[in-house]
Amino acid sequence: MKRIAIYCGSATPEDPRYIELAREVGDTLARRGIGVVYGGGRLGLMGAVADAALAAGGEVIGVIPDALIKAEVAHRGCTQLIEVNTMHERKAEFVRLSDGFITLPGGTGTMDELWEALSWAQLGYHAKPVGVLNVMGFYDHLLALWRHMAEVGFVRSAHRGLVIAENDLDLLLARMMTHIPSEPITKMAPESL
């Protein structure tokens, strides 16, 4: 994988472990020669990932809607800063520019990005690995919901493995590198839907 899109919060929680995690991810990816594609912000976890990757000599591509540039949250030190008009265009650029996705802790925007990456994988719009770094149990409930949706029948058995979750970055990256895409809905026989 040459580049990974990182989904994470623009907030800075009181618990310093979240910012430390973001820095560790940015630093690790850069040291492995993996570029970071992210939301282009300079605040919170987003800024921490970018700053750490840049400090380690890595490539950092920010993708930011013009409304957020105007609010002065853009990270001007990125290797490349791409301005788009909408959040939808931002997510499409994440897919275009990256070879996979890792979700760190975050809020509503982070969830929007994760769920769209999963939805697009189900539909066959991309065949890239979708990772969740579940540190400090942050995503325990979300992962339980994913399992519940599968158990009830809202996530097809072919797609249960779309979420690649680990609490260790090295393990997550190893699993993402060996990712085998599932059959997309668009190629399934109507009777199996």
The CATH number covering residue 130 comes to 3.40.50.450
Could you tell me the two tokens for 96? 């275009």
CA distance 3 to 135: 22
* pLDDT, tens digit, 9 for 90 and up, residues 11-24: 999 999 999 999 99
Q: Give residue 104's domain range.
A: 3-181
Q: Are 88 and 113 in contact (CB under 8 A)?
A: no
Task: Tell me if 190 is assigned to some domain.
Answer: no
Task: Tell me if 186 is assigned to some domain.
Answer: no
CA-nearest of 82, 117, 81 to 99 is 117
Task: Tell me if 18 is assigned to some domain.
Answer: yes
The total number of structural domains in the chain stands at 1
**The predicted structure's pLDDT at residue 36:** 98
Task: Tell me if 191 is assigned to some domain.
Answer: no
* Percent of the chain residues topping a pLDDT of 90: 91
CA distance 135 to 16: 13
Q: Is 10 left (phi over 0), alpha (psi -120 to 50) or beta?
A: alpha
Rounded average pLDDT over 70-98:
94
* pLDDT, tens digit, 9 for 90 and up, residues 120-156: 999 999 999 999 999 999 999 999 999 999 999 999 9
Task: Tell me if 193 is assigned to some domain.
Answer: no
Asked if the model's pLDDT at residue 191 lies above 70, the reply is no
Task: Tell me if 16 is assigned to some domain.
Answer: yes
